[in-house]
Structure 1
Amino acid sequence: MSTAHTPAGALRRIAFLLERAREPSYRVQAFRTAAAVVAGLDDAELERRVRTKSLTDLKGIGDKTATVVVEAHRGDVPAYLQRLEESYAELTPLADEAAALRAALKGDLHAHSDWSDGGSPIRDMAEAAMSIGHEYLALTDHSPRLTVANGLSPARLEQQLDVVAALNEELAPFRILTGIECDINVDGSLDQTDELLGRLDVVVASVHSELRAPAAQMTERMLAAVENPHTDVLGHCTGRLVIGRRQRNGTQRPRPESEFDADAVFSACVAHGTAVEINSRPERLDPPRRLLTRAVELGCDFAIDTDAHAPGQLDWQDAGCARAVDCGVPTDRVINTRSAEQLLTRTHR
């Protein structure tokens, strides 16, 4: 059952649910824009706008979002929000073991903001993480080599560290962990300076280029990254897309897995304390079950992450938890079941 929200809160909740359902970004943005407009009104102005039916005179508020505002303002659950909540209530709930694992997660170690290719400000991502019960969120915007994703230069990353420090003072005890999703270069080096990587709380290292390289070459590349003392998490290790990204002609083409020696890479993860990411994005679900099972057998630790690019996507961890349980991942080997202090003891090795 839905609960009452402020007008701005109802608009944000709708945006969250649409993001979780992978609805088009323009639909989501309409509700987030309207929420920002309404949040900027004082009580008297909001009351006047509702009474005079002039909400749609405000830039950023249309007929649908105005209806949500009016219904929430009078204390009702907006009908559109109610429909969205009920549609999610019909989804199959997690089995007991997976639900227990999801409840044990204290945070997410892979998320993006509008500083790189995410769609929302850092504060919005943090507040969404708080709303679903997390104690921390690692902010892992892209590194500079990934220009298509507006990767952070060293100077921009320095600026982000200052922004995060200020937000952490305001949002405490919740904590935004400083981090990066760092490109693994072709030679296996990491795409950021050692000095900056040493200052971060969490480094997720991922391959984003030349994904069809020969297996031997990809293996050496991944081994070098895993063995790097700055690497904490190996991100979406096969690079596959089970749901293809939309092409210019409207088709969607899945992307096959990169080929590499999984036993060698996962054994190196164990030896060097690098966690294997269980990426929960619906289009990735990486690693595949056979590789996830093998990583369990070899003794890897894991991070169940969303790779979220919007607030609502932070609620995707259910999929990762279900796959983890199916493949026999022990809860005590999931590093984001630990407190921030315990996690930082590990990552600051």
Structure 2
Amino acid sequence: MVAGLDEAELDRRIRTNTLKDLKGIGPKTATAIAQAHEGQVPEYLADLEQGYADEVPAADEIAAFRAALKGDLHAHSDWSDGGSPIREMAEAAIALGHEYLALTDHSPRLTVANGLSPERLEQQLDVVAALNEELAPFRILTGIEVDINVDGSLDQTDELLGRLDAVVASVHSDLRADRAAMTRRMLAAVADPHTDVLGHCTGRLVIGRRQRNGTQRPRPESQFDAEAVFSACVEHGTAVEINSRPERLDPPRRLLTLAVELGCEFAIDTDAHAPGQLDWQYNGCERAIECGVPVERVVNTRSADDLLEWTTPP
């Protein structure tokens, strides 16, 4: 709202105390805008920073953790519900210093996200192969975010899943299933030899997505036996995703801490649907530090060759 004002109009509204007459701007926000416009740190922000200073990891600590990451194992293109072509996503990853990016568009069951049929996925593999020749030494890893079906099976053919570099398995439907049913479903998916990463395990949205009627509703966590599921991840060598999307930040801290205690490995991913979102890994790194995730247990700190050795079933 403020960015749409020219300088003179912004100055006038600050001077006449009428910023709060604009839609969505209340008294506190108006004060913060005025102070920021004067080159000051808004008092509200300063109070927050002071109050939480001891709880938030230092910026250089987060930056060092982020620097250890060599790639991102969860990203979407305009082949499913992403907004940009594969090349643009890859070039954005290169600009961030990544060595690789896993392209994980949705599987066919998720029609609302234009999930890839086996035929379309086959076509995408050819496109990725051609791009990898052009972009070397950077590497686009072939992959998929595959739906975990209600019975725990994966929503793509075994033959195709076996050809992919990285498989992120996620629950996108029946999120309100009872605890026992959801646990059985997730245990089956984690045990599948094709599954490399368990994606956004609770399915929660801490910031609701805008509905057709204009409202925004958060989505609560799915209920499952986290200790059983994370123990199965350790047993089967499946990494638990630390999803860095601001509206997900999944798993919650208490579950992430439990996964650390049980000995899980992790993938810090952005679930990016646009090039700029690939920079969201800082969110995941901050949460990893807060919950005591050892950097050596994060699988995307590995080189592409070492990662592919890990994702290839024995």
For this structure pair, what is the TM-score category when the shorter chain's length is used for normalisation? 0.7 to 0.9
In the TM superposition, residue 94 of structure 1 has moved relative to its aligned partner by 5.1
Provide the residue aligned with 2:35 in structure 1: none
> Mapping of 1:309-320 within 5 angstroms?
309-320=273-284
Provide the residue aligned with 2:264 in structure 1: 300
Offset from partner CA, 1:4-52 (integer Å, 9 cap, x none): xxxxxxxxxxxxxxxxxxxxxxxxxxxxxxxxxxxxxxxxxxxxxxxxx
Provide the residue aligned with 2:299 in structure 1: 335
In 2, Cα distance between equivalents of 1:94 and 1:231:
34
Q: For residue 222 of structure 2, what is the amino acid of its counterpart?
A: S
Unaligned ranges ≥5, structure 2 = 1-44, 50-56
Provide the residue aligned with 1:276 in structure 2: 240
In the TM superposition, residue 101 of structure 1 has moved relative to its aligned partner by 0.8
Provide the residue aligned with 1:321 in structure 2: 285
Give 1:103's match in structure 2, choosing from 67, 72, 77.
Answer: 67
Give the total of aligned pairs.
263
In the TM superposition, residue 318 of structure 1 has moved relative to its aligned partner by 0.4
Provide the residue aligned with 1:44 in structure 2: none
In 2, Cα distance between equivalents of 1:318 and 1:123:
23
> Mapping of 1:185-224 within 5 angstroms?
185-224=149-188
Find out whether 1:347 has 2:311 as its counterpart.
yes
In the TM superposition, residue 251 of structure 1 has moved relative to its aligned partner by 1.1
Structure 1's 94 and 176: CA in aligned 2 closer, same or farther, altered over 3 A?
farther
Give 2:197's match in structure 1, choosing from 233, 246, 251.
Answer: 233
Q: For residue 254 of structure 2, what is the amino acid of its counterpart?
A: R
> Mapping of 1:14-29 within 5 angstroms?
none
Q: Check conservation: 1:94, 1:318, Cα contact below 8 A.
A: no
Find out whether 1:246 has 2:210 as its counterpart.
yes
Offset from partner CA, 1:187-215 (integer Å, 9 cap, x none): 00000000000000000000000000000
In 2, Cα distance between equivalents of 1:333 and 1:120:
31
Q: For residue 333 of structure 1, what is the amino acid of its counterpart?
A: R
Q: For residue 110 of structure 2, what is the amino acid of its counterpart?
A: L
SS at the partner of 1:124?
helix
Q: Check conservation: 1:236, 1:286, Cα contact below 8 A.
A: yes
Give 2:255's match in structure 1, choosing from 280, 287, 291.
Answer: 291
In 2, Cα distance between equivalents of 1:270 and 1:311:
32
Provide the residue aligned with 1:169 in structure 2: 133
In 2, Cα distance between equivalents of 1:251 and 1:330:
39
Q: For residue 218 of structure 1, what is the amino acid of its counterpart?
A: M
Cα RMSD, aligned residues only: 1.8
Provide the residue aligned with 2:106 in structure 1: 142
SS at the partner of 1:110?
strand
Deviating above 2 A after TM superposition, structure 1's stretches of 4 or more consecutive aligned residues are: 92-97
Unaligned ranges ≥5, structure 1 = 1-89
In 2, Cα distance between equivalents of 1:188 and 1:105:
30
In the TM superposition, residue 239 of structure 1 has moved relative to its aligned partner by 0.1
In 2, Cα distance between equivalents of 1:185 and 1:248:
26
SS at the partner of 1:109?
strand
In the TM superposition, residue 95 of structure 1 has moved relative to its aligned partner by 2.7
In 2, Cα distance between equivalents of 1:246 and 1:94:
33
Offset from partner CA, 1:64-105 (integer Å, 9 cap, x none): xxxxxxxxxxxxxxxxxxxxxxxxxx9x99533222110000
In the superposition, the TM-score normalised over structure 2's length comes to 0.82
Provide the residue aligned with 2:41 in structure 1: none
In 2, Cα distance between equivalents of 1:158 and 1:138:
16
SS at the partner of 2:129?
helix
Q: For residue 117 of structure 1, what is the amino acid of its counterpart?
A: D
